[in-house]
Amino acid sequence: MTITFIGHGYVGLVTACVFADFGNNVWVVGRTPDKIERLKNGDPLIYEPGLEELLQKNLEAGRIHFTLDYDKAIPESDVVFIAVGTPPTSTGEADLSSVLDVATNIGKNLKKGYTVVSCKSTVPVGTNLKVEEILNKVKPEGAEVDVASCPEFLREGTAINDTVYPDRVVIGSKSQKAVKKLLEVHKPLPGERVITDLASAEIIKYASNAMLATKIAFANLISLYAEKTGGDIETITKAVGADNRIGHKFLSAGIGYGGSCFPKDVMALNETGKHLELDTGLLDAVERINRTVRDNFIHKVTANVKGKKLAAWGLAFKPNTDDIRFAPAVYIIEDLLKMGYEISAFDPAAMANVRRTIGDKITYVDDMYEAVEGADALLIFTEWNEFKQANLEKVKKALSAPLIIDGRNLYQPQEMKDRGFTYISTGRQVV
pLDDT at 316: 97
**What domain range is 381 assigned to?**
231-424
Contact present, 9 and 85 (Cβ < 8 Å)? yes
DSSP summary character for residue 74:
G
pLDDT at 112: 84
Tens of pLDDT, residues 146-201: 999 999 999 999 999 999 999 999 999 999 999 999 999 999 999 999 999 999 99
What's the rounded Cα separation, in Å, for the pair 210 and 56?
35
Do residues 160 and 248 share a domain? no
Give the helix/strand (H/E) hosting 183: helix 176-185
pLDDT at 199: 96
Q: Residue ranges of the alpha helices (H) in 186-261?
A: 198-229, 233-241
What's the rounded Cα separation, in Å, for the pair 131 and 117?
9
pLDDT at 429: 96
Do residues 315 and 186 share a domain? no
Do residues 175 and 321 share a domain? no
Do residues 270 and 397 share a domain? yes
Edge-first strand order for the sheet with 113-119 is: 64-67, 25-29, 2-6, 79-82, 113-119, 143-149, 168-172, 192-196
Last residue of a domain, one of 196, 222, 249: 196
Contact present, 314 and 323 (Cβ < 8 Å)? no
The verdict on residue 125 lying in a domain is yes
Do residues 331 and 261 share a domain? yes
Enumerate the active-site residues: 261
Last residue of a domain, one of 140, 174, 196: 196
Type of residue numbered 332: I
Contact present, 124 and 272 (Cβ < 8 Å)? yes
The verdict on residue 92 lying in a domain is yes
- The number of angstroms, rounded, from the C-alpha of 406 to the middle of its chain's C-alpha atoms is 22
Do residues 281 and 395 share a domain? yes
What's the rounded Cα separation, in Å, for the pair 308 and 336?
10
Residue 340: count other Cβ atoms within 10 Å of its Cβ. 7
Do residues 48 and 112 share a domain? yes
Compute φ and ψ for 407, nearest 5 degrees.
-85, 0
Give the helix/strand (H/E) hosting 193: strand 192-196
The verdict on residue 218 lying in a domain is no
Closest CA to 99 of 202, 17, 196: 202
> How distant, in Å, are the alpha carbons of 73, 110, 135, 143, 239 from that of 113?
15, 8, 14, 5, 57
DSSP summary character for residue 197:
-
Closest CA to 382 of 334, 350, 352: 350
Tens of pLDDT, residues 363-376: 999 999 999 999 99
Query: Which is it for the CA torsion 323, 168, 110, 199, positive or negative?
Result: negative
Give the helix/strand (H/E) hosting 159: helix 159-164
The verdict on residue 365 lying in a domain is yes
The verdict on residue 318 lying in a domain is yes
Contact present, 111 and 143 (Cβ < 8 Å)? yes
Do residues 291 and 153 share a domain? no
Closest CA to 323 of 291, 357, 289: 357
Q: Residue ranges of the alpha helices (H) in 305-418?
A: 328-338, 351-358, 368-372, 385-388, 392-398, 413-418
The verdict on residue 206 lying in a domain is no
Do residues 273 and 158 share a domain? no
We report the CATH number of the domain holding residue 383 as 3.40.50.720
Compute φ and ψ for 381, nearest 5 degrees.
-110, -25
- The number of angstroms, rounded, from the C-alpha of 11 to the middle of its chain's C-alpha atoms is 10
Closest CA to 220 of 208, 237, 245, 239: 237
What's the rounded Cα separation, in Å, for the pair 350 and 314?
8
Low-confidence ranges of the chain (pLDDT < 50): none
DSSP summary character for residue 94:
B
Structural domains of the chain, count: 2
Closest CA to 300 of 160, 128, 422: 422
Last residue of a domain, one of 196, 214, 249: 196
What's the rounded Cα separation, in Å, for the pair 423 and 328?
20
What's the rounded Cα separation, in Å, for the pair 412 and 202?
42
Residue 396: count other Cβ atoms within 10 Å of its Cβ. 18
The verdict on residue 76 lying in a domain is yes
Do residues 180 and 273 share a domain? no
pTM (2 decimals)? 0.92
Contact present, 174 and 198 (Cβ < 8 Å)? yes
Do residues 71 and 145 share a domain? yes
Contact present, 428 and 226 (Cβ < 8 Å)? yes
Do residues 241 and 178 share a domain? no
